[in-house]
Amino acid sequence: MWSTDRNTMRAVFYDAWRHFKEQTPLTGVEALIVEALVAHPEYQPLFDDGRPSETIDPTAGSGTNPFLHLGLHIAIAEQIATDRPPGVASEWQRLQGLWQDAHRARHAMMECLEETLWEAQSRGIAPDDSAYIERLRALGTGGRKK
């Protein structure tokens, strides 16, 4: 999955969905992709034809890039599994318990991650793990509205 070529990266999403539909074993990252796709049926038709297309505009109509959105789901799942940066897993537990909605909690975390990544990219620096964790801690406390 880790490539600099957009079509190669996108092919992993198509392969994961095809493997799921064919009920063949999934790799670790494929399982994460499928979990995110199952939670987002609005994206499934894009993957139903089974092959990536260079001509597809994934944001047409919705304004959301499903590859980016699904990739953020994967990033959050990996962060939770590894507790990287430290504290992210406990924030996940808190948010999931607070809202009783895992998908909502992931989406809120994804917004914090997007903000942290945007900030780093715009400044040309590495993402600030402390700022990210503080954004997560503010969720559900009145510091941020979700």
Cβ neighbours, 10 Å, residue 70 = 22
Tens-binned pLDDT, residue by residue, of the chain (146 aa)? 455 677 888 889 999 999 999 999 999 999 999 999 999 999 999 898 766 655 556 655 567 888 899 999 999 999 999 999 999 999 999 999 999 999 999 999 999 999 999 999 999 999 999 999 999 999 988 755 44
Read off the pTM.
Answer: 0.85
Range of the domain at 110: 83-146
Quick check: is 62 in a domain?
no
Domain count, the chain: 2
Are the CB atoms for 44 and 37 separated by under 8 Å?
yes
Nearest Cα neighbor of 36 from 89, 81, 74, 76 is: 74
Structure-block tokens of residue 125: 């620096």
Quick check: is 60 in a domain?
no
Planar angle of CA 8, 9, 12, nearest 5 degrees = 95
